[in-house]
Amino acid sequence: MVNRILQSGQRVFVGANEWNGNSVSFVGASSPSQEGFVTFNGANTLSGMTVDGAAGAPGYGGVGIGPRVALTVGGITLDNGNLSVSERPYGALDVTGTSQIANNSTLTMTAYGGVGTFALNGVMSIDGSSTVNSDYVPVSGNGTFQLTGNNALLRLGHVDAGDTVKLDGGTLSLTDGMHFLGTITDSVPSASAIAPTASVHVYNAADAVREVFNTTTGMLDLFNAQGGEVANLHFAGGGPLFAEKTTDQPTNYVAITTHQSADSLPVTFTQ
């Protein structure tokens, strides 16, 4: 196995299978304008990918995935590091193994015209100071995102049924509560579906006026005043969940937590 090291400002183009079995490390860049950048113009399978920030300064790296190119990475490790992954039309990223996003790190996926995919087929841990953004790249696979701190943030859009989000803290931010088909839970589901310090923000549901929560199936539905369903989410675990609308944010949303307040939406519990 070869560790491919990309220095500050270095640009590399990789053909099909050229880096199979290798790992990639980004070093030396302390700003996005200096980041090393690798473009995959053909399918490759990497053993891993790393961005480590220098002492007291964040690190940066960038990955481009060409049109209809599939890139498989056996785990992403960011330690005070920032990694951007941009996909050309029908590009695909598949992350397997164990990933650690920690120490003020950010992983961001984008796709040209929204036409691309991100498959998680491993476990990706996000600590209380870090963020993963895949708002506009559909997520598939059979993996698990695990948020482990109060300020951990995971932004998702369309998500397939095989994916799980463990909310041991932090925030799951959803652009559309009708297109998250995965399961939301925590590490102790017998106690609660999500941790007491965690929340789910649903941005398309700002017009919701009532909640229906099935305590047997874990399905939580939000409806607007016209009776239209604006969120349909599956939770696994015990205990009730409550929805509350924000009114003072630049973009308002519905926050789902384990706490009921005077401003919570009317809720009907079913079995």
pTM assigned to the model: 0.96
Q: Is 267 contained in some domain? A: no
CA 266 to chain centre: 29
| Beta carbons of 265 and 240 less than 8 angstroms apart | no
Q: Is 243 contained in some domain? A: no
Q: Is 247 contained in some domain? A: no
Q: Supply the pLDDT for residue 33.
A: 87
DSSP β-bridge partners for residue 8 = none
Q: Is 194 contained in some domain? A: yes
d(CA 152, CA 240): 23
Q: Is 225 contained in some domain? A: no
How many domains, in total, are found in the chain?
A: 1
Q: Is 255 contained in some domain? A: no
Domain that holds residue 62: 3-206
β-pairing, 48-52 vs 70-73, is: unpaired
Q: Is 250 contained in some domain? A: no
Q: Is 261 contained in some domain? A: no
| Beta carbons of 61 and 87 less than 8 angstroms apart | no
pLDDT in tens, the chain (271 residues): 899 999 999 999 999 999 999 999 999 888 888 999 999 999 999 999 999 997 778 999 999 999 999 999 999 999 999 999 999 999 999 999 999 999 999 999 999 877 899 999 999 999 999 999 999 999 999 999 999 999 999 999 999 999 999 999 999 999 999 999 999 999 998 888 999 999 999 999 999 999 999 999 999 999 999 999 999 999 999 899 999 999 889 999 999 999 999 999 999 999 8
